[in-house]
Amino acid sequence: MNTELSTMETTDPLAQLMGSPKQETQQRSALARVNVLSSAIKGEVELGGKKIKTDVVPVGSYKITLGDDVFYAESIEVRLMSDRQQWQRWNASTNEMEKSVMAHDVRGDLKDSVGGYNLGRPSGYVEDFNSLPEATKEVIRSVKRVKVFMGTLTVKAPIDDTGSPVNGEYVDMPFIMDVKNRDSLKNIEASEKAVVRKAVKLYMANIILTGGEASIPTGATYGYTLSAVGSLVQPSDEDDNFMRKIASDFNEYLRKAMAGETTMTEEVADKVASDVKAALFKQFDSGPRDAFRLRMSNIGRPKCQLWYDKNEPEGKTPFPPHFLMNMILGDIVEAVFKGIMRAANVDFKDNDYVTLELPNGKEIRGEYDMELDGKIDDVKSASPWSYMNKFASFDALASGDSFGYIPQLVGYAEGAGKDIGGWWVVNKANGEFKYVSAEGVDKEAVLKNIEDLTDYIDNDEPFERCFEPIKETFYRKETGNMKLGIECGFCAFKHKCWPTLQTLPSPNSKAKNPPMVDYIHLEETSSG
């Protein structure tokens, strides 16, 4: 084997990785493919004047194929840019790997290399495997879901198949790597989560991949990936302008649509309609309410609300009928907003289910709205007041996060092993929108609060009231009345928690339609 690898001019490895045309010094692929060795490469070494056979490239080493060159390394350093999923199946008769196209998830119908979809595997979740025909079972067993990682690769000590050093140090080469071993995936995703905990973007960290060896009951061995976080990489100024560009593309598409210069494809329109349909079915599901459980959408709620929801649900005050309409409008806004993003050619990963694993062994499940630029974002529809005040900035939201939006977003990101993004907020009154970044969030503190909450709820601790009444003021003068704070205003258990509660028009207001106020104590005479 030639021990000197070909060199290339790769001014933009990420562009090459994603398929953009590049000028190269040689007409061959600049994309390295990485595989983990499940069988050692044997060779001869001289020991005591005798040649003995041994492992010159051990199990768990990495095989790197770059064009016509093949070399190996026991350790590699990668920066992860993206990941996709696909179906794969080995065809022993043709000695080829059959594949579907790559996608953000494998829940839909993915075109495959044999002229069908999903390599014949049924799409979606199979609820009752045992009821399927045997032929379908066999297809499911043979077709494997694979996670494909893409990024840049650095190899500092490559060797050939004899164990001899290969000349050169290969830095920031674009690569692709298929991973289907469960332990390997778990280890890589653990490193991704560790990077995210550092409050940096995933591609800003070098991840060190080494290998391990394991065996199956038959005695056969296989290699798997071990992973650890290495040094951080300083991001470019271009990264900081990403969200600004997305907003610009979104608005430009709307401008062209209003001017009659563009249209929306039938495919995008059908996706919006499908999302709205799914939301309607969700909201109008007449089935029995599931038993209480902690989930992403409620882990940021005050623990006193959750205590009642679990232990005394019968004390809940029913929401007014228009509450359901408000929920439906929120779902429609999200569907249309993401539809316009698709039409504007914004590349994002749609909603997906995740599980947050806490140090105390508890798990919280939920479904995030979208992944954009390697970060988890939520889409929120807001009233004009909330748009201007609550979502004025991250600090403004943090000072009055009565719905628990911050813990919800942190939980999604941590469960997905991705960076924390922010909120795309749409004003329901006029359609304007903005992006509120969660940069600066104290993730570790939020996760600790979530863990403490699960202990409190799951351990059946006694009820603790989280808030006390506040003094009412009118033109900066105390009225003598005591009212609930904003944290309790939307609580369905406020009458259970405060038996003396009266919801009345403000006696001090001079408005034609005075605002309704939750009073715990009301003076006989107003101080207004």
Least confident of 92-106, 143-157, 195-209: 195-209
- Where are the alpha helices (H) located in 104-241, listed in sequence order? 134-142, 182-197
Instruction: Name the pairing type of β-strands 32-36 and 170-179.
Output: parallel
pLDDT of residue 12 exceeding 60: no
> Can you give the pLDDT at residue 448?
94
Instruction: Look at residue 45 in the predicted model and tell me its pLDDT.
Output: 67
d(CA 308, CA 214): 48
What pLDDT is recorded for position 286? Answer: 56
Beta partners for residue 433, in sequence order: 426
Residue-wise DSSP of 351-402: EEEEEEEPTTS-EEEEEEEEEETTEEEEEEEE-HHHHHTTTS-HHHHHHT-T
Average model confidence (pLDDT) across the chain: 84
Q: What is the residue type of 124?
A: G
Query: Above 60 in pLDDT, residue 7?
Result: no
Q: What percent of the chain has a predicted confidence (pLDDT) above 90?
A: 38
Tell which wins on pLDDT, 371 or 9.
Answer: 371
* Nearest-angstrom CA–CA distance, 234 and 352: 30
Query: Which of 390, 414, 394 minimizes the C-alpha distance to 296?
Result: 414
Alpha-carbon separation of residue 6 from 12, 73, 376, 389 (angstroms): 18, 17, 39, 58
- Taking phi over 0 as left and psi of -120 to 50 as alpha, with beta for the rest, 69 belongs to beta
In the structure, what pLDDT confidence band is assigned to residue 287 with cuts at 50, 70 and 90? Answer: low
**pLDDT tens for residues 356-381?**
999 999 999 999 999 998 899 999 99
Beta bridge partners of 53: 44
C-alpha of 406 from chain center: 14
Higher pLDDT, 194 or 233: 194
Mean pLDDT to the nearest integer, 469-492: 84
8 Å CB contact between 62 and 34: yes
**DSSP label at 432?**
-
Q: Could you give phi then psi for residue 149, rounded to 5 degrees?
A: -95, 140
Taking residues 72-89, report their average pLDDT: 90
Residue 346 has a CB neighbour count (10 Å cut-off) of 18
Residue 187: name the closest of 227, 215, 222, 149 by CA.
Answer: 227
Does the pLDDT at position 240 exceed 80? no
Looking at the DSSP bridge assignments, the partners of residue 311 are none
Query: Is residue 71 predicted with pLDDT exceeding 70?
Result: yes
Query: Is residue 273 helix, strand or coil?
Result: helix
Would you say 24 and 9 are in contact if contact means Cβ atoms under 8 Å apart? yes
DSSP 465: -
- The arithmetic mean of pLDDT across residues 242-266, rounded, is 83
Residue 108 pLDDT: 77
**Interval 397-421: pLDDT, tens:** 888 888 899 999 999 999 999 999 9
Which band of pLDDT confidence, cut at 50, 70 and 90, is reported for residue 256? confident
When comparing pLDDT for 195 and 61, which is higher? Answer: 61
- Angle at the Cα of 189 (from 424 to 362), degrees rounded to 5? 80
**Cβ partners under 8 Å of residue 495, min gap 6:** 315, 317, 501
* pLDDT of 81 higher than 90: no
Parallel/antiparallel/unpaired status of strands 433-437 and 170-179? unpaired
Check pLDDT > 60 for residue 100.
yes
Continuous segment of H or E residues that includes residue 304: helix 303-311
pLDDT digits (tens, 9 = 90+) for 481-502: 889 887 788 788 998 889 889 8
| Predicted pLDDT at 322 | 84
Number of other CB atoms surrounding residue 214 within 10 Å: 14
**In the chain, how many H helices and how many E strands?**
13, 20
pLDDT digits (tens, 9 = 90+) for 305-332: 999 999 998 888 887 888 888 889 999 9
Q: In the block, which residue shows the tokens 């694993």?
A: 357
Q: In this predicted model, what pLDDT tens digit does every residue of 23-46 receive, in sequence order? A: 333 334 468 999 999 999 988 766
Whether pTM exceeds 0.75: no
Contact 88, 55 (CB under 8 A): no
Query: What are the structural domains of the chain?
Result: 13-101+148-234 (no CATH), 240-458 (3.90.320), 470-521 (no CATH)
Indicate the length of the chain as a whole number: 528
Helix axes 443-458, 182-197, angle to 10 degrees: 120
| Sequence-distant (≥ 6) Cβ neighbours of residue 354 within 8 angstroms | 296, 365, 366, 367, 368, 412, 415, 416
Q: 275: Cβ–Cβ under 8 A, 6 or more apart, which residues?
A: 331, 334, 335, 338, 339
Question: Looking at the predicted structure, is the pLDDT value of residue 85 above 80?
Answer: yes
Closest to 315 measured CA to CA, from 164, 75, 150, 499: 499
pLDDT at 1: 38
